[in-house]
Structure 1
């Protein structure tokens, strides 16, 4: 692993105007991190990663690198780009084991964070660096939000989030109140009453996107966000149809295969797959099939009714009448 990482780091050209940073939404100085690693200053590189992005290990695993940092790498024009995700993951996981410092000196001020997802965790960790006494409230029993309850373990292991809970929350004195919804028994007014001077709300977007077609309420239908939260609670059977081809669709399809489905197909409305090439390639490798240019018209007890699509003369996709077909 280390040899591979160093070989990959050696491929970095150290561009004066690094294009990789143009596509890197977090803003970490990628060339500097790589330079430090090549000089044997792994701890300094690790500190830089976590200082700029407390969830750097998570990002190294689940971000869409091919359209962000790696997709902008100058080497990618003629050959494979520098795979910074591999470098970032190695540095962050190695350096994390050395992160054992306790809380920063208290500034005597309290802050509440509602939601233990990526936004809530990030702001809580940053506030704790400045001495705030932070309490995180979340309706689930563990931290992570969509990272834990919306991304499969084979992409983002729970152990990564458990390590964040220990090193970034517990060791830093950040308190976590699980299974606690703000707005029911406790309100934001109660938080201010109890001495919190500021409240950050990062409750997440847990509402599913509806298709608004007949059959959505049937017992063998599930929305992606509900299924991924606890796949073991669902019994999908051997044949599964996933409507959509985004990264969440790939997560559902690949999870269904791991849970015993024998035939899984993803349905695309157009002629392209919207998921990343990385996720799509793994889905195909694991046996997921794809139906392109299809509209989903109805869900029945015995399958899904699809129809062909074609692109109209003025651009919009239209459904071709008379092409309806039941896919069991």
Structure 2
């Protein structure tokens, strides 16, 4: 592994205008500098730079869509294979995660509540805790990670990484309240009443989107977002149909194969899959079959009723055939997800759009004073690095808001003392 990574690092051209960073990385990771430091024997400095820029660096090194992002924009890829940036980043970040000393500025005397311990919540928590804010994370699940833990299979993202993250958050002084739902006994009003100065909502998108066809309530029909949370409790049978072609569909299909299903087929509505090339290829390598241009008429106990869809060369739908039964013991629907509405239903002044996503301004501020939001619950289903980019921006805006609030309180105290 080490020799491979070093050889890959030596292939980096140290471009003056690195497209891998400028065009390819949403988090703007300084990839040439990372590689330069690594080859100069400064792996700790490289790891520190990565962590400061992106606290989720080690996760992104495993689950990012690298072939479209950093590696897809590598100059070396124009005539041959791109530098395996993901492998280099993972090697550095994996070593550094256990070494990093979680330091923070002197306490500012302000409390921040973070709702959700996914990539958005973790990123905002780390950034604000490092600035000296007293941070408490409220997580409705028993363990930290959000969709990273309960939506990405462990063969793609080992759970040990998330467990190590949790230790680091505790070292930083972040309080974690597991098995705690905001919107039930505790509400946003409760948080402000208890003295929190600002709240960040990073609750993700956990509600599966249905197809709106007959049969979705049958016992052999499941949603990918539910299945991936605990696949061991499902008995899918030998033959599984997966409806949808994004990364979640690939995860569900590959997991089903690993759990013993022998014949797994992904059915896509169009003549291509939406998943990343790498995840598509891994699914093929695992034995997943693909059947494109299929619409869904209904779900039955014997499998989905699908119909052939015909497109022209420009991708326009021309015609659709009559539905036919595609035999399957179980059907998994993996077409998208939406936010749950418990927080919105139990608070006032918090607006959402017609998709249920929280409405925010350019700085992540919601329509309620002191409440910010980011990640999937604002963007819709997104990959980790896009969530990190958004969360970093919101954390900066929250710091500015809290600074103004702190200074206003000081001015008020000064005025009262003068009187």
Question: How far apart are the structure 2 equivalents of 1:179 and 1:197?
Answer: 23
1:321 Cα offset (Å): 2.9
- Show the counterpart of 2:78: 77
Question: How far apart are the structure 2 equivalents of 1:314 and 1:278?
Answer: 25
- Show the counterpart of 1:327: 326
Matched, 1:191 2:191: yes
SS of the residue 1:27 aligns to: coil
1:320 Cα offset (Å): 2.4
| Alignment gaps of 5+ in structure 1 | none
1:315 Cα offset (Å): 4.7
- Show the counterpart of 1:164: 165
1:3 Cα offset (Å): 1.1
Q: 1:257·1:264 contact (CA, 8 Å) conserved in 2?
A: yes
Matched, 1:289 2:324: no
Q: 1:60·1:88 contact (CA, 8 Å) conserved in 2?
A: yes
Question: How far apart are the structure 2 equivalents of 1:301 and 1:89?
Answer: 44
**TM-score, normalization by structure 2:** 0.76
Q: How does 1:224-303 map to 2 (within 5 A)?
A: 224-303=224-303
Distance 1:64 1:314, change over 3 A: closer
Q: How many residues align?
A: 326
- Show the counterpart of 2:147: 146
1:246 Cα offset (Å): 1.2
Question: How far apart are the structure 2 equivalents of 1:240 and 1:171?
Answer: 44
1:39 Cα offset (Å): 0.7
Question: How far apart are the structure 1 equivalents of 2:319 and 2:138?
Answer: 46
SS of the residue 1:236 aligns to: coil
Matched, 1:304 2:304: yes
Q: 1:118·1:144 contact (CA, 8 Å) conserved in 2?
A: yes
1:209 Cα offset (Å): 1.6
Q: 2:98·2:164 contact (CA, 8 Å) conserved in 1?
A: no
- Show the counterpart of 1:131: 132
Q: 1:102·1:173 contact (CA, 8 Å) conserved in 2?
A: no
Question: How far apart are the structure 2 equivalents of 1:315 and 1:250?
Answer: 23
**TM-score, normalization by structure 1:** 0.96
Q: 1:60·1:89 contact (CA, 8 Å) conserved in 2?
A: yes
- Show the counterpart of 1:63: 64
SS of the residue 1:86 aligns to: helix
- Show the counterpart of 1:33: 34
1:132-191, CA deviations, whole angstroms, 9 ceiling, x for partnerless residues?
110000111111110001000110111000000001x11111000011111211111221
Question: How far apart are the structure 2 equivalents of 1:40 and 1:121?
Answer: 30
Question: How far apart are the structure 2 equivalents of 1:28 and 1:189?
Answer: 38
1:99 Cα offset (Å): 1.8
- Show the counterpart of 1:91: 92
SS of the residue 1:26 aligns to: coil
Question: How far apart are the structure 1 equivalents of 2:286 and 2:319?
Answer: 30
Query: Which 4+ stretches in 1 moved above 3 angstroms?
Result: 100-104, 312-315
Which stretch shows the higher mean deviation, 206-215 or 252-261? 206-215
1:216 Cα offset (Å): 1.0
SS of the residue 1:147 aligns to: helix
SS of the residue 1:141 aligns to: coil
Matched, 1:220 2:220: yes
1:101 Cα offset (Å): 4.1
1:103 Cα offset (Å): 5.0
Q: Report the aligned-residue RMSD.
A: 1.4
Q: 1:267·1:290 contact (CA, 8 Å) conserved in 2?
A: yes
- Show the counterpart of 1:179: 179
